[in-house]
Amino acid sequence: MTQQTKFLLDEGRMPTHWYNIAADLPQPLPAVLHPGTLQPIGPADLEPLFPMELILQEVSTQREIPIPEPVREVFKLWRPSPLIRARRLEKMLGTPAKIYYKYEGVSPAGSHKPNTAVPQAWYNAQAGVKKLTTETGAGQWGSSLAFAGSLFGIDVQVFQVRVSYDQKPYRRALMETYGARCVASPSNLTNSGRAILARDPDHPGSLGIAISEAVEVAATHDDTKYALGSVLNHVLLHQTIVGQEAIAQMEMAGDDPDVIIGCTGGGSNFSGIVLPFLGMQLRGGRRRRIVAVEPAACPSLTRGKYAYDFGDTAHLTPLTKMHTLGSTFTPPGFHAGGLRYHGMAPLVSHLKELGLIEATAYQQNACFEAGVMFARAEGIVPAPEANHAVKGAIVEALRCKAEDRPQTILFNLCGHGHFDMTAYSNYTAGKLLDQQYDEAELAMALSGLPSVPA
């Protein structure tokens, strides 16, 4: 009898419902406010941007929301994704801990993002929408929506943060292979883009700016809606398929995680693996440590303020209460482009305030060191974003070694790094620099937070 390494679920055991933690929260999320009136918004306020089914998911408190059958059919191309025990990494670290990772890089776009791109495209197609706009950082979200759009006959236009657009031309080629159009942001296609280019023609862009551009196009075109790859409740909801599968797979493995780890940019892959476990806890189950790992150069959860803020730079979006570095904050151009967002999902921020999760931050060289170690042990080269989770898992495994405690660690390996090899090249050549945000800029961005009556 040999040791089992990989835990697979048959298609027949793919979850049929998403798990909605709103049903189990001890306190509800703070209200979302209209950017003009500062009053709580209703579903109708979001209609210019999203189809009603997604708006209803955004505000639902129903515990289980069915996954439409055509969406599950698409998921079968790669789901259920594998849960893998990192036996070689454990050995390399000499830890008594067991390390498991859920591997979302098996999707066509190479990350967890299709988990929400596919249902978002499907609900839009059902509502008769013909065009979708979106933003993307590293391109994982943009290529995922491009893929999903190609399946349901929807035109996709992607505003990609300029620094990533320049660093990662292969992601753009992937979006174009799926039939999408991709433009560097800030662009001269929108008022918000033109305003920024007028001030700084070489602006590196940010997710906040790209969101402004995509939202502006959707809001000003009747046949066009907008899709967001993270942050919103319905996006996090769609990712819960990851954690639900992981619960079943950990049972197959006969283990139960003591610590669960995910990297956080907007918060969606983290929520995907974490929320179903947290839901069990909120319904009276066992308490586990849950750790969010973010980049030290864009540390919304560890250094941001918990306050109402805009989701974008041009202040076109509603206000949500979240951990934020300020909507005008532009993070340095480090390689984990998917984590370069000024805010954190309101839901993740809420969990942090409730003391249900921890947060920590690392610099990129430490994360790439962890990623290279992982690649040489496990074969898979993680995406720069995922390296943050790998780093978090290694820190926990070494803590277990120091304390001689055989704990079980689970982390979400949210994507592979095949489109990020320039960053690995730079790391191998010793050319990768740790990056610091500007403290003065952060202070200024935080001082500019909107004032909202209590």
Task: Tell me the two tokens of residue 194.
Answer: 């033109």
| Nearest CB to a second copy, comparing residues 114 and 276 | 114
How far apart, in whole angstroms, are the C-alpha atoms of residue 238 and residue 421?
A: 29
Binder among 39, 62, 126, 177 for a second copy (CB under 8 A) = 177
Identity of the residue, 112 or 323, whose beta carbon is nearer to a second copy in the bound complex:
112
* Element at 408 (helix H, strand E): strand 408-413
Could you say whether residue 248 binds a second copy (CB under 8 A)? no
Rg for the chain, CA atoms, rounded: 20
Query: Does 101 engage in binding with a second copy (CB under 8 A)?
Result: no
5 binds a second copy (CB under 8 A): yes
Instruction: Select the span of 26-34, 67-75, 93-101, 303-311 touching a second copy (CB under 8 A).
Output: 67-75
431 binds a second copy (CB under 8 A): no
Nearer to a second copy, 170 or 303 (CB): 170
Residue closer to a second copy, measured from CB, 114 or 119: 114
**Shortest Cβ 383–a second copy spacing (Å):** 11
102 vs 342, which CB is nearer to a second copy? 102
Is 194 a residue that touches a second copy (CB under 8 A)? no
Positive or negative, the CA dihedral 436, 414, 318, 150 is positive
Residue of 24, 58, 176, 255 that binds a second copy (CB under 8 A): 176
Contact map string, positions 397 to 426, toward a second copy, x by CB under 8 A: -------------------x-xx-xx-xx-
d(CA 303, CA 113) in angstroms, rounded, equals 26
Q: How far apart are the first and last CA of the chain?
A: 63
110 contributes a contact to a second copy by CB under 8 A:
yes
Q: Does 254 bind a second copy (CB under 8 A)?
A: no
Peptide bond preceding 299 in cis form (omega within 30 of 0): no
Cβ(124)–Cβ(217) under 8 Å?
A: no
> Which position has the token pair 């890089």?
105
* By the rule CB under 8 A, 17 interacts with a second copy: no
- Subset of 310-349 contacting a second copy (CB under 8 A): none
Query: Cβ of residue 353: shortest distance to a second copy, in angstroms?
Result: 38
Peptide bond before residue 332 is cis, with ω within 30 degrees of 0: no
301-to-53, 147, 343, 414 alpha-carbon distances in Å: 30, 31, 8, 19
If DSSP states are collapsed to H, E and C, what string results for 339-392? Answer: HCCCECCHHHHHHHHCCCCEEEEECHHHHHHHHHHHHHHHCCCECHHHHHHHHH
Q: Are strands 98-103 and 17-19 parallel, antiparallel or unpaired?
A: unpaired
Task: Tell me if 10 contacts a second copy by CB under 8 A.
Answer: yes
Question: 89 and 100 in contact (C-beta within 8 Å)?
Answer: no
Q: Which of 56, 78, 166, 398 binds a second copy (CB under 8 A)?
A: 78
Q: Identify the residue among 181, 283, 286, 376 touching a second copy (CB under 8 A).
A: 376
Q: How many CB atoms lie within 10 A of CB 113?
A: 31
Q: Decide if residue 38 touches a second copy (CB under 8 A).
A: no
Question: How many whole angstroms separate alpha carbon 255 and alpha carbon 175?
Answer: 39
Give the binding range for a second copy (CB under 8 A) out of 31-39, 94-102, 234-242, 378-386.
378-386
Closest distance of CB 376 from a second copy, Å: 4
What residues make contact with a second copy under the rule CB under 8 A? 2-6, 8, 10-12, 69, 72-73, 76-78, 84, 88, 106-110, 114, 147, 150-151, 169-174, 176-179, 372, 375-376, 378-381, 416, 418-419, 421-422, 424-425, 428
